[in-house]
């Protein structure tokens, strides 16, 4: 009898429950037992797991978050934690683990597989920064939320003739800012991949004003830097607040900021994320069935394919240069 452990690790994102549901249902269909691991790796380090039934995954497709809980524990953080992980893996007679998470979680999964614990991965993070796949679970929902937020901010920015600075998440990459900003009609996008110049941002705002555009919307990733501004030394309010303050100070234009923060990670997953997570979950169990471990499921050319997990977690995926060309066409 195969017993598959299911872990959601790291930061949460919309679509995790859809993936859990698909892993469980496909496993049940094959006659496998499924062990739910609570709160990320914490569950296997501190003996907090349960046997999953069909009832556990009924009615969860549309729910945000994770019914298993998540966390940032790492079984490799100490010899004691790794020993506890080994003990519980053996205690519950697990034959393999499906790890649902982002870059760091999949890196841990790859190391566990190398240590002899059969593991497959499902890439799930709003940051969309995992190599080897064209899209991760949660990114579509987060980018759609940014797009919708910009739609709403356009009306108030234009009514009051303001500059609006919108700070978004990104985990060190500019995927959310770039595509959320492109879809939402941002007037300028600042990401970690390119060091924007503060003078260029001001110049663009002034050009819009002189051409009759009485408002501007600037989107900035929370880890971005701007030449001429020491954003690394900004106050706890974040880079968005600091950038907005400096724009108003130097331009004299009324400027406000909005931090979308954890709103990007919550809520109901989009159709795309639900179906992507379902396909990922199904194919992850297929990998286990074939014994094709040390892999993660990935999207390439619209198809779900296996990708080497070690290769995929050596560096974070950055947006293609062409996407920046598309964005710059509008500013």
Q: Which residues of the chain have pLDDT under 50?
A: none
The answer for residues whose C-beta is within 8 angstroms of residue 291's C-beta and 6 or more apart is: 118
pLDDT at 41: 98
Per the annotation, the verdict on 127 as an active-site residue is yes
Q: Classify residue 140 by burial, with Cβ atoms within 10 Å: 0-12, 13-18, 19+.
A: buried
Q: Please tell me the predicted confidence (pLDDT) of residue 171.
A: 87
Select which of 73, 74, 127, 140 is catalytic. 127
Residue 236, pLDDT score: 55
* Residue showing tokens 């240069």: 321
Give per-residue pLDDT as tens, 22-62: 999 999 999 999 999 999 999 999 999 999 999 999 999 99
Angle between helices 271-290 and 139-160 (to 10 degrees): 160
Are 183 and 151 a contacting pair, CB within 8 Å? no
Question: What is the pLDDT, as a whole number, of residue 225?
Answer: 85
pLDDT of residue 289: 97
Domains and CATH numbers, the chain: 3-138+269-312 (3.40.50.450), 140-266 (3.40.50.460)
CB-based burial label for 290 (10 Å; 0-12, 13-18, 19+): exposed
Report pLDDT for 252.
94
Q: Which of 171, 142, 122 is nearest to 270 (CA)?
A: 142
Please give the helix or strand (H or E) that residue 8 lies within, else none: strand 3-9
**What confidence tens digit (pLDDT) does each residue in 188-236 have?**
999 999 888 999 999 999 999 999 999 999 999 998 988 877 655 555 5
Which segments of 161-211 does DSSP mark as H helices, in order? 175-184, 198-210
Residue 235: per-residue pLDDT: 52
3-class SS of residue 205: helix
180/100 Cα distance (integer angstroms): 24
HSE (side-chain half, CA atoms, 13 Å) at 265: 19
């Amino acid at each position: 009898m195969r017993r598959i452990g299911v872990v959601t690790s790291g930061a949460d994102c919309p679509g995790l429950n859809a993936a859990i549901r698909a892993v469980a249902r496909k496993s049940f269909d094959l006659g496998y037992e499924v062990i739910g691991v609570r709160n990320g790796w914490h569950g296997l380090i501190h003996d907090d797991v349960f046997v999953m039934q069909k009832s556990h995954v009924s009615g969860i497709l549309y729910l945000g978050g994770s019914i298993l809980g998540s966390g940032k524990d790492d079984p490799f953080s100490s010899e004691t934690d790794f020993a506890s992980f080994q003990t519980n893996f053996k205690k519950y007679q697990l034959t393999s683990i499906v790890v649902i998470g982002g870059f760091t979680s999949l890196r841990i999964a790859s190391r566990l597989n190398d240590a002899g614990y059969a593991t497959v991965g499902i890439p799930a993070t709003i940051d969309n920064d995992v190599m080897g796949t064209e899209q991760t679970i949660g990114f579509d929902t987060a980018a759609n939320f940014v797009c919708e937020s910009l739609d709403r901010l356009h009306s108030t920015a234009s009514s009051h003739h303001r500059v609006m600075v919108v700070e978004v998440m990104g985990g060190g990459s500019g995927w959310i800012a770039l595509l959320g900003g492109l879809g939402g009609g941002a007037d300028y996008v600042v990401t970690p991949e390119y060091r924007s110049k503060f003078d260029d941002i001001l110049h663009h705002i002034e050009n819009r004003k002189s051409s009759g555009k009485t408002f501007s919307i600037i989107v900035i990733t929370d880890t971005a830097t701007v030449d001429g501004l020491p954003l690394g030394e900004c106050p706890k309010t974040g880079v968005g607040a600091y950038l907005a303050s400096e724009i108003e100070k130097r331009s004299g234009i009324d400027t406000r900021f909005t931090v979308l923060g954890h709103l990007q990670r919550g809520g109901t997953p989009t159709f795309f994320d639900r179906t992507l997570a379902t396909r990922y979950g199904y194919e992850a169990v297929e990998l286990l069935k074939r014994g094709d471990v040390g892999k993660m499921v990935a999207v390439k050319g619209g198809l779900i394919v296996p990708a080497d997990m070690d290769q995929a977690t050596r560096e974070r995926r950055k947006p293609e240069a062409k996407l920046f060309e598309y964005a710059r066409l509008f500013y």
